[in-house]
Amino acid sequence: MALNGDVCVVTGACGFLGKRLIKLLLEDENLSEIRLLDRQIKLEDVQSFNDCRGDTRVRAYEGDIRDSAYLRRACRGASTVFHVASLIDVNGSVELSELYGVNVKGTQLLLEACIEENVSSFIYTSTLEVMGPNPRGEPLYNGTEESEYENSIKTPYSKTKKEAEERTLQANGELLPDGTRLATCALRPMYIYGEGCRFLLDIWQMGSQQERPVPHVLPEAKVNPVYVGNVAAAHLQAARSLKDSSKRNVIGGRFYFISDDTPPVSYSDFNHAVMSPLGFHIQDKLPMPLCLMYVLCFLVEVVCTMLRPFIRLVPPLNRHLLTMLNTHFTFSYKRAQVDLGYAPRYTWQEARKSTTEWLAGQLPALREKLET
């Protein structure tokens, strides 16, 4: 079912996934209006959608997601909210209070605004990290929404995303002032790559600064990254399905894993597949045994904790990140295919080509930055 004539709100509109989702909505749907929500919105961010907007009005709402009055204004008259915005933190560089304020409190305030303003559908962008991997690095092969996996979430980022997801799903069925009910669902994408992916640029920069290949991870620790265009397509399909009265009760209150046909591969082999045409290299093997790396990470974390009252140091690698990079953790998108009608729009070959070409266009500016 199409979203024709609807008013949609996209939080995190100027981010990696947010921009791709907005472009897809403008290309595939005849919306009445799209509202871009972000802390900072540049004029060029809005103008970048001119070629595909058609008759759809694009409005910018600059503000803080922790501001309830701002959220109510943005949600007034809207039918669907895509909550993409969050603070991402894999190395412990962000204070817990900041993470909780944006990821949990911001989500709760947005849900309350949706209820107060009669927004009927709410799609939350969650993360694979709410599932794991756990600190023991136990693998999971081709997991599904029904998979049982013992997980004791340790990182502040994972905890805040998990709580925000739970609050989203618990809000499903809330009675709205107009007598209808709110329908919510959550999408858990794998590691997202594609044009605009800052992590790929960071990896390239790390290798360039060190002037040596980037360290390898265990080749048997495979994951299934997902292309940003396919994640955007999954969000659109979720919104269409929530609008369909025959599917709304099935989907509402559920989460879905979102992957595509990118082949299961280790993180380092994935980086090599995407960046090797540009001269990117990876070490042939781990720089030291994994258990020794884990012990070193633990010692560095202890030192950083002891120094925190005086100075905040953030190690480039911690135990959580080391475990995540070296644990087999793959998932199926079949449930999203059945319930949402999701199917990857882009093949692995198309996604890899587009990503490599985008990276090639970024490298001159990145090299100039490194030289200055």
**Tokens linked to 217:** 């991870």
**Domains defined for the chain, CATH in brackets:** 7-275+323-371 (3.40.50.720)
Please report, for residues 50, 140, 257, the alpha-carbon distance to residue 131 in angstroms, rounded to integers and kept in the order given.
Answer: 38, 10, 10
Task: Identify whether 333 is a catalytic site residue.
Answer: no
The pTM score is: 0.92
**Tokens linked to 275:** 């960046």
Query: pLDDT of the chain along its 372 residues, tens only?
Result: 778 889 999 999 999 999 999 999 999 888 999 999 999 887 777 777 777 767 888 999 999 999 999 999 999 999 999 999 999 888 777 888 999 999 999 999 999 999 999 999 999 999 999 998 988 889 999 999 999 888 776 788 999 999 999 999 999 999 999 999 999 999 999 999 999 998 888 777 765 544 444 555 677 889 999 999 999 999 999 999 999 888 999 999 999 999 999 999 988 889 888 888 887 776 666 667 777 888 888 888 888 888 888 888 878 788 888 888 889 999 999 999 999 999 999 999 999 999 999 988 887 776 666 666
Encode pLDDT of 74-116 as tens digits: 999 999 999 999 998 887 778 889 999 999 999 999 999 999 9
Helix (H, G, I), strand (E, B) or coil at 212: coil
Please report, for residues 38, 73, 111, the alpha-carbon distance to residue 101 in angstroms, rounded to integers and kept in the order given.
Answer: 15, 20, 14
Please report, for residues 20, 203, 244, 254, the alpha-carbon distance to residue 27 in angstroms, rounded to integers and kept in the order given.
Answer: 11, 32, 21, 27
Active-site residue identified among 157, 227, 267, 333: 157
The owner of tokens 């449930």 is 335
pLDDT at 356 (0 to 100): 93
- The C-alpha atoms of residue 64 and residue 71 are separated, in whole angstroms, by 8
80: phi then psi, degrees, rounded to nearest 5: -135, 135
